[in-house]
Amino acid sequence: MAISLTSFKSQYDNVPKQMDFSDWDHFERFLYALSKRPLGGKKDAELISPAVYMANTTRSNKNVLAWAGWAAVDVDDLEITGDVKDAVDSMCGSYSYICYSTASSKMDKPKFRIVFRLSRDIESVQIKHFWYALNTYLDSAGDRQTKDLSRMYYVPATYDSAFNFIFTGGSDILNVDALLRQYPYIEKKHSNNFMDRLPEALQRSVIEHRKAKMENTGYIWTGYNDCPFWPRKLADEYRSITETGWYHKMYQIMVATASRAISKEYPITASQIADLCKEFDHENGNWYENRPLEVEADRALEYAYRNV
């Protein structure tokens, strides 16, 4: 499964820059290579995030589409009397992980970050539930609550005056769906978003009400080339991809198409979005011939109705 991350030059950088890796091994090698760089401290380090954003947007929670195949937990307050790896192995069980020290790690007080390999991407609407479930599983080694879908982490490095290390462990990919089932989450109790705090039935009513307002049916097209909602810049970016990242870019295209239609009050359907993307894909590599684009288009449409 492809892995993506978003990089930022500093904590003040607000412009996401996405990097894609063909698989977990390439991602792991990237982190190991970073860990060898000597850096003075956090002020010299870049940051990375598992978040994938809507194209041409800023680092904002509302622009997060998903976490792209990985998640990380900071462990700052764990009392460790023996070997650090033994302690992390005990926390993580059989789950595959990469553990690296942070800039404030000391020999008598190790501080580190655990990066988990996930079975799938986590769409934005599930991130808070997943974060709660993961930290509950880890016995609150990190923070169970998160208001930040756009979480950023300083990169691994050889920091001055720090107790530096990096190692891997485990063999099992963390099954996202199994973890969510194991630790149920009541979204409305934890969210600051008004929509999220509503009962599920009422959320559906609000979305259906928004759909009912889509009455501007005066748009006609024959394909993606003449569709007024088709995001041409994103399509050009998709064509320029040479190695990995097609999936995330296609999902961005779906969300952008849905959002543009909704902003014009056109009642676009998931099938229409999927048909546009199938036609485009057929002319650009045919990567999605056996992929359920209607399902992904429906998720993109749901995201757009919640956020536009």
Mean pLDDT of the chain: 87
In the chain, domain spans: 3-189, 198-307
Residue 78: phi, psi to the nearest 5?
Answer: -80, 130
- Higher-scoring residue by pLDDT: 249, 206: 249
What's the whole-number mean pLDDT along residues 14-27?
91
Q: To which residue do tokens 């990919």 refer?
A: 173
Instruction: Specify the pLDDT at position 291.
Output: 74
Q: What is the pLDDT of residues 247-286, one digit of tens each?
A: 778 888 999 999 999 999 999 999 999 999 999 998 988 8
Instruction: Specify the pLDDT at position 98.
Output: 98
Instruction: Specify the pLDDT at position 242.
Output: 67
Q: What's the alpha-carbon Rg for the chain, to the nearest Å?
A: 21
Residue percentage of the chain with pLDDT more than 90: 55
Instruction: Specify the pLDDT at position 8.
Output: 95
pTM for the full model?
A: 0.67
Residue percentage of the chain with pLDDT more than 70: 89
What's the whole-number mean pLDDT along residues 9-26?
91
The lowest-confidence range among 129-133, 219-223, 302-306 is 302-306
Q: What is the pLDDT of residues 63-80, one digit of tens each?
A: 898 999 999 999 988 888
Model confidence at 238: pLDDT above 80: yes
What's the whole-number mean pLDDT along residues 13-21?
91
The answer to whether 100 touches 112, Cβ cutoff 8 Å, is: yes
